[in-house]
Amino acid sequence: MGKAFKDSIQRALNNGNLTGALGAFSEAYTVNRAKAYEGIDFEELRGKIADLKAFAAANLKPLSDEFTRNAEARGATVFRSDDPAAVRDYILRIAKEHNVKRVVKSKSMATEEIHLNAYLEKAGIEVGETDLGEWIIQLAGQTPSHMVMPAIHMTRDEVSDLFSTEINERLTSDIPRLVKVAREQLRPRFLAADMGISGGNIAVAETGSIVLMTNEGNARLVTSLPPIHIVLVGIEKLIATFADVATILKALPRSATAQQLTSYVSVITGPTPNPDGTMKNMHIILMDNRRTEMAADPLFKQALQCIRCASCLNVCPIFRLVGGHVFGKVYTGGIGTILTAWFDALKQSEDIQSLCIQCGACKDVCPGMIDIPGLIMELRRRLVREQGVPLVMKSIYAVVNNRSLFHGMLRAASVAGKPFTSGKFIRHLPLFLADLTDGRSLPAIADVPFRDRFKIINQPRCAEKVVFFAGCLIDFAYPEMGEALITTLNKAGIEVLFPEGQTCCGAPARYSGVYEVAEQNAIDTIKALMAVESTYVVSACPTCTVALTHDFISTFESVGQTGWRKEAEELAAKTLDFSVLITKLVEEKRLTFQEGKSLATITYHDSCHLKRTRLVSQQPRELLRRAGYQLSEMFECDTCCGMGGSYSLKMPEISAPMLQRKIRNIKATGAAVVAMDCPGCVMQIRGGLDQDGANITVRHSVELLVDTLQ
Amino acid sequence: MLYERFKVKAEAVSGEVYRFTDRSGAFLWLVDFLKREGVGATPENSALWAAGTFLTDGERDTFRGAGISFEVTKQAAATARFGISQMAWGLADTGTLAGNSTDIDQRLVSSLSTIHIALVPTAGILPDMPSLFSHLHPRDCAYLAMITGPSRTADIERVLTIGVHGPERLVIICIDEYAGGE
């Protein structure tokens, strides 16, 4: 990771205006978005949008042809190009032909993508942004920090300073007054402009129409007042039919700004009369710039389902800490990372892709149903494939891939770590857990790992066997969780098997893009777990469960491994999360809760993989309630704690504030105990609470449930 | 029923909604409203109506007497305090006005004035956008406009502020017996 990139993150994190504004916005957004979608079946709606956009992405060429035919039949001129330079030249040529001196623009990401403003200005043409946020950052000489709210990082005082300089009059920071100043300043520019340039939210092939949405009304002026109108749209904005416009407009404003509809929507089809009675000179530029190539990629084609609402930015726990500027100059956030890799270059995404913690919050709200975290993983994989793995990571994964060496080193660490142990925590762990920074204590490596403890556990002989996949953290840091799981299942008359050959699930390697290591981890795990007869495979670590049920197959697909596919599918089919298995056993009356228990008040933290990939959130809560615990929900219970496996090693400066926020929310409930279902989250949150000094106990659900069952 | 839903939704986004059974009632109210709001002869207080064929000659004369001009130009619209136009449709589920605004005058008075007053047939209020699209299609309409509340921004510190480039007030007059002069 480049130093300049790390510096830009640090600058953003230290910018109180930015983190304050984005934090407050993201909190309000979640509530307002839910309200805006009241009475609407979001899953059904986004299913329709994904379908119609996927169809368009698969038919870019015929839809571009159809759009061109229809728009030209109505009198517009259509220019199609794959080349940003050709697009810039085309616009400049028209401007020169018509002696254009002044251009007004309404917001367009495509023009940002080709850096049009600077190009026209160099040719002596005055280019004025008219969207208030865009105008502010144009005056400030900055780039947008958010796709929908470009100036969200600036305070009213900063805006007041900018405007005061612009109009040469000392203004106060009264927002309505500042808005009025913008109206007064920009009004004459609208009236005097020779050319209007806009983007387009949608381009309709069936009718040759361009759909434009704004709240301020600037697009109406840009498209009505100047005699020339240039529309620049990426071809991913194409849709097949006019009726589909209503479907997209149902989601776009709700997802973008939690509005039911923007103040203004214009559907423009061909030239319209100008104020002086002449007809508009209308040019529509359909820009490809690698979109066709993207559509041909079996994985990345789904990124063309994006409707540019930016909700993936609004719900991202990392975006709200760092804002848009660390992402570069044009597209920001989760989808921006993917678009940058394509419209700019894969190499350009090298640093920014590492910002993603893979929590999956964006995938849940994407109206285009794009698997944004999945595509970022694929970028990571392709980057590693092109550029290789850093040497230090390589040596770590070489160790992880050799089970006996890996486990041997972990055992050695339990001894080596001793001098640093204070109580239950140590500050530094050797190997890949080294170099963790402040803000979190780390668990000591267990003296006796689970795999050794298992051998001396006396289990009843039962007919039914279940295989336990422990994962590294339970095996070597939290063996007591594994013991609690065995006691619990024994109560249901189930004997637990622990195949010794099991090793790392491969998640650390996969999430770093090192798929060949993840592949070998998967094969070793499958071999070990499928060698014994069992009803189920159970895991008490959702990241491991996701590996066993989903990632193994996906890794095999990515690397072209076909030999183990069938076994991987069989393993996936019989693997269950701990709380799902217990819920099943309770329903079957094989497990019963002790009567009349009234236990502590607890709060519950949803782990990302459990809630968003495994879709499990109610089962653990219901089990804990039935056990007798009082549940007091925390704010943002399903927001990532900042662990993200090796993320907390690579991005400690981002992980730490995520953890602090989580701890604030836990403390605010007043609960004495915080429960969760992931040993990784336990490690993160327990470490944070230890440093914080709060008297709150962190427990895996299995530890809270074991003694409440008969 | 559609009208009530439309009114609730339009008011939720700062629209001002009134309903009249016939044109004369609406016109009387309009003249009175303009007077109350200070319509005058100076450009800054002027009222501009892109009436098209909506009004009879007699009606036009009456309104001229009340200080309303029908000579729509870019400059006149840019300074006018009141802009009056017709919108053929309303959408109940979002409180939206919609219509064919290919006529530039309709767009000038509704996008440059400080207060936009829109006259809408109550019968033109439809449930939602898909129903609008079955009545209004780009093949017959080069500039399909939808307006939902006044111009707004939240670009400075996310504080909702009304009236950026477009009108700062939107006054909607629904008329049950809308037809007349045409």
pLDDT value at position A157? Answer: 93
A703 CA to centre of own chain? 31
| Beta carbons of A245 and B96 less than 8 Å apart | no
What confidence score (pLDDT) does residue A428 get?
34
pLDDT over 70 at A390, yes or no = no
**Residues B111-139: tens digit of each pLDDT:** 999 999 999 999 999 999 999 999 999 99
Nearest chain A residue to B13 by CA distance is A263
- B20, β-bridge pairs: B175
> Of B153, B158, B151, B162, which is closest to residue A156 (Cα–Cα)?
B158
Interface of A with B in 53-82 (CB under 8 A): 74
Query: CB–CB of B78 and A187 under 8 A?
Result: yes
Give A402: exposed, middle or buried? Use CB within 10 Å, 0-12, 13-18, 19+.
Answer: middle
A18 touches chain B (CB under 8 A): no
For residue A514, what pLDDT band results from cuts at 50, 70 and 90? confident
Say if CB A579 and CB A619 are below 8 A apart: yes
Domain span at B159: 2-177
Using the structure block, give the residue that is written with the tokens 């109610």. A618
Residue in chain B lying closest to A217 (CA): B166
Chain centroid to CA A705: 33
- How far is residue A180 CA from its own chain's centroid? 37
Supply the pLDDT for residue A435: 43
- What ipTM, to 2 d.p.? 0.97
A261/B153 touch (CB, cutoff 8 Å), yes or no: no
| pLDDT above 90: residue A704 | yes
- Region B89-109: mean pLDDT is 98
Band (A405; pLDDT cuts 50, 70, 90): low
Looking at chain A, the domain(s) classified CATH 3.40.50 span 80-288, 601-708
Among candidates A359, A472, A362, which has minimal Cα distance to A413? A472
CA-nearest of A38, A39, A33, A44 to A247 is: A44
Q: What is the pLDDT of residue A393?
A: 63
For residues A465 and A450, give the distance between their C-alpha atoms in angstroms, rounded to a whole number. Answer: 18
Given this model, what pLDDT does residue A398 score?
65
Convert the pLDDT of each residue in A121-175 to its tens digit. 999 999 999 999 999 999 999 888 888 888 988 999 999 999 999 999 999 999 9
Report for A338-347, A387-396, A603-612: range of highest mean pLDDT: A603-612
CATH number of the domain enclosing B141:
3.40.50.10420
Q: Which residue has the tokens 């690698």?
A: A290
- Range list of H helices, A202-332: 218-224, 243-257, 291-295, 311-314, 319-322
Instruction: Count other C-beta atoms under 10 Å from residue B2's C-beta.
Output: 16
Q: Is A257 on the interface with B (CB under 8 A)?
A: yes
Could B145 and A220 be called an inter-chain contact, meaning their C-beta atoms sit closer than 8 Å? yes
pLDDT at res. A124? 97
Residue at B165 is within a domain: yes
Share of chain A above pLDDT 90, in %: 76
Measured between alpha carbons, how far is A162 from A164 in angstroms, rounded to an integer?
5
Chain centroid to Cα A535, Å, comes to 35
Least confident of A499-513, A520-534, A611-625, B89-103: A499-513
Give pLDDT, residue B158.
87
CB within 8 Å: A245 and B133 = yes
- Whether A492 has a pLDDT exceeding 60, the answer reads yes
- Return the HEC string of A362-376: HHHHCCCCCCHHHHH
The 10s digit of each residue's pLDDT in A185-227 is 999 999 999 999 999 999 999 999 999 999 999 999 999 999 9
- pLDDT at residue number A147: 81
A14 HSE (CA, 13 A, CB side) = 6
What residues in B contact A162, CB-CB < 8 Å?
Answer: none
Instruction: Give per-residue pLDDT as tens, A81-110.
Output: 999 999 999 999 999 999 999 999 998 999
Q: How large is the average pLDDT for residues A397-416?
A: 62
Asked if B155 and A245 come within 8 Å (Cβ–Cβ), the reply is no
Determine contact, residues A189/A203, Cβ cutoff 8 Å.
Answer: no
Higher pLDDT, A512 or A76: A76
Confidence of residue A17 (pLDDT cuts 50, 70, 90): confident
- The whole-number pLDDT of residue A417 equals 45
Q: What percent of chain A has pLDDT over 70?
A: 92
**Mean pLDDT (whole number) for A463-484:** 94
B182 assigned to some structural domain = no
Looking at CATH, the fold of the domain delimited by A80-288 is given as Rossmann fold (3.40.50)
Question: Two tokens at A561?
Answer: 């491994």
**A557-594 tens-digit pLDDT:** 999 999 999 999 999 999 999 999 999 999 999 999 99
Q: How far is A261 from chain B (nearest CA, A)?
A: 7
Q: How far apart are CA A663 and CA A696, in angstroms?
A: 10
Least confident among A522-526, A645-649, A688-692, A699-703 = A645-649
What is the per-residue pLDDT for A330? Answer: 83
Coil/strand/helix, residue B118: strand
> pLDDT-derived band of residue A2, with 50, 70 and 90 as boundaries?
confident
Question: What is the structure's pLDDT at A561?
Answer: 94
Report the mean per-residue pLDDT for chain A: 91
Q: What is the pLDDT of residue A36?
A: 96
Q: Closest to B155 (Cβ–Cβ): which among A24, A151, A273?
A: A151
* C-alpha distance from A265 to closest chain B C-alpha (Å): 5
Total domain count, chain B: 1
- The pLDDT value recorded for residue A426 is 40
pLDDT, position A159: 95
Residue B108 contacts A, CB cutoff 8 Å: yes
Residue B108, φ and ψ in degrees, nearest 5: -60, -45
pLDDT score for A166: 93
At A438 the pLDDT is: 44
Q: What is the pLDDT of residue A387?
A: 79
**Percentage of the residues of chain B whose pLDDT score is greater than 90:** 94
Q: Contact B107/A207, CB-based, under 8 Å?
A: no
pLDDT given for residue A231 in this prediction = 98
Predicted TM-score (pTM) of the model is: 0.91
Contact assessment for residue A193 and residue A102, using Cβ atoms and an 8 Å cutoff? yes
Is 70 exceeded by the pLDDT of residue A392?
no
pLDDT of residue A444: 67
Question: Residues A344-377: pLDDT tens digits?
Answer: 888 888 889 999 999 999 999 999 999 999 999 9
Looking at residue A440, its pLDDT comes to 55
Looking at residue A508, its pLDDT comes to 83
Query: What's the sign of the alpha-carbon dihedral A178, A179, A184, A186?
Result: positive
B36 pLDDT above the threshold of 60 = yes
- The third-level CATH classification (topology) of the domain covering A601-708 is Rossmann fold (3.40.50)
| Over residues A404-431, mean pLDDT | 50
Partners of A28 on chain B (C-beta within 8 Å) are: 158
**For A148, nearest residue in chain B (alpha carbons):** B155
Quickly state the pLDDT bin for B22 (edges 50, 70, 90): very high
- Is the pLDDT at B180 greater than 70? The verdict is no
Band (pLDDT 50/70/90 cuts) for residue B41 is confident
Nearest CA in chain A to B91: A261
Structure confidence at residue A413 (pLDDT):
55
Neighbouring residues of A430: CB distance < 8 A, sequence distance ≥ 6: A409, A412, A413, A416, A417
Residue A512 has pLDDT above 70, yes or no: yes
What is the mean predicted confidence (pLDDT) over A529-555?
Answer: 96
Q: Is the pLDDT of residue A56 over 60?
A: yes
